[in-house]
Structure 1
Amino acid sequence: MGGCHRFVQATEFGVTDGHADDPEVAIVYPAVPGVADTDRSPFVNIDSTTVAGIQRAKELGFADAQLAQVVVSPFVFETNDLFTQTAKGRLFSVFRHPIDRAISMFYYIRVADWEPSYKPELQDWTIEQYATSDIVENNWMTRQLSNQLGGELTEENLKKAMEVVRNKFAVGLMTKIEPTMDRFEKMFRWTYHVNPPNQEACRERLMGGGANSNKANKKPVEEGSEAWNLLAHQNNFDLPLYQYIEQLFDEQESFVAGMPERFRMVDSTCCKCGPPTYPPEGFTCPEAVKNDGT
């Protein structure tokens, strides 16, 4: 959405380069760490991934400024409070199998020294140790979607999570990322407006290989093994929730029935071509800003 569609995003990256103290909401182009010469992507100068950041964004009038095209956040209910009657949002998410997510998290936080959650001591742990520790996440999806981050969960939490995702979300699946992205493009009418051939090549690269992959550090966990069963115990509500989401994914195909394939190409324009073209409703072409400041 950022690198290929070149949407203006609201994520934690918007407050890097000293923008956390900006007095007004604005579009900024943070430098990519370690990269000397590349186009920067546009971000809004707020952090939508923390409760404090969401509150700051609300105080700055983020939603009514209508600068962002995509807001990324793990906080469903707090983010909902960020929007207004005159500037609403629509929820969508790509969901991952809970066990696969837990395994990936284990191998990620033991090497991700750039993350606040980084735990180098896990490099000497087995995944079984992780699954029985107080570090492992417990039913993360159910807790987020039922708005109960702590304490014991019940069947009522699972029912609430199912109700929220059914009524509020366009759902996608990590295991079906290409049809997921295709559906989102149709549902939200996302089309190319920067440079369609380059954007399509970018999309194909990400759909085929992904980004920020940690595959080299992972070891497979067989279903039915001790590690799998221990992680399943930690995700006893998330597993049926995920099965329900898979069902919703199939049902929501009807939302885009009859829409043209490769919708992203429909009425596409090219603001970085010569001569440039623009959609009738107008479009602001992303700035060609280099990391050297030019």
Structure 2
Amino acid sequence: MPATAFDRLLIAVKPITVPIADRGIDLQVKVTAPADGDDLPVIVFSHGNAWSMDGYEPLVDRWAAAGFVVIQPTHLDSRRNHIDFDDPRFATIWRLRIADLHGVLDGLGDILDRVGGLPSRVDRDRVAVVGHSWGAQTAGALLGARVLDTVGNPGEDFSHPAVKAGALIAATGTGEALTPFALKYLPFARPDFSTMATPALVIAGGKDQSAASTRGPEWFTDAYHCSPAPKRLLTVAEAEHLFGGISGEYVKDTTDEDPARVVLVADAVSAFLRDVLDVDATGWRGLQDRVADSSGAFSIESK
């Protein structure tokens, strides 16, 4: 596919306020959807640290063009809320992030009602969660992953019954190799994937080196290797943490600018979700067929 967006007409509505107790700052979300079509599945997307509902447009627009309704909450760690690592609230934001996604899913009907003509076009039995970086850990919790405490005891189950599948992009690996920085500021970066049974696609970059881990890029494959089937793993050989610029075009954070890589990630997620949600399997089969011709640019594993 070309590295440009589809020509399908999209609609976007923001901000929509979602009631969440004990948050301090109102949760706001953005909804992006195709202007036409029925039986549309839903993606709830969790952004990476410091971003917001206004980021990741290169992914979101392609997902909407592929027939998804995409809902993006702005988590409390967004730059617009001015909460940094030393803020006393930061230590519990990981829980508030999960609560944000639960609030979106529990209030899905009210959110859709704010977008004229959309509620009757949505298939509420086909719901997925997707996240990038910290957002991948957040989304993983709704797929069944848990957070271990400092002595290895698993925390509570945050899975949500509405979630049928998910995709984790640059998901935090297991916590035994955290750097001093991560131990101080990110002690919750200790996921246990052994209970993450919901079908999911894990996407990892072959050149993604995290400041939170003493391990190399393989750290980002733990969500695949340490979780039960069914799972799929897409490894993008030359990708760094933003996979060519998934958070936005020409953003300064991106050090591996590559529009074609962004398209690969976006289309892999939509193809996987359309397959496992029983919408259409042709996109995923087509992606698998491209592996041999990619000259090692990406690979796919499954279990």
Question: TM-score when scaled to structure 2?
Answer: 0.29
Q: Which has the larger radius of gyration?
A: 1
Q: Which has the higher contact order (CA 8 A, sep 6+)?
A: 1
Report which of the two has the higher share of strand.
Answer: 2
User: Quick check: which one's helix share is greater?
Assistant: 1
Tell me the TM-score normalized by structure 1.
0.30
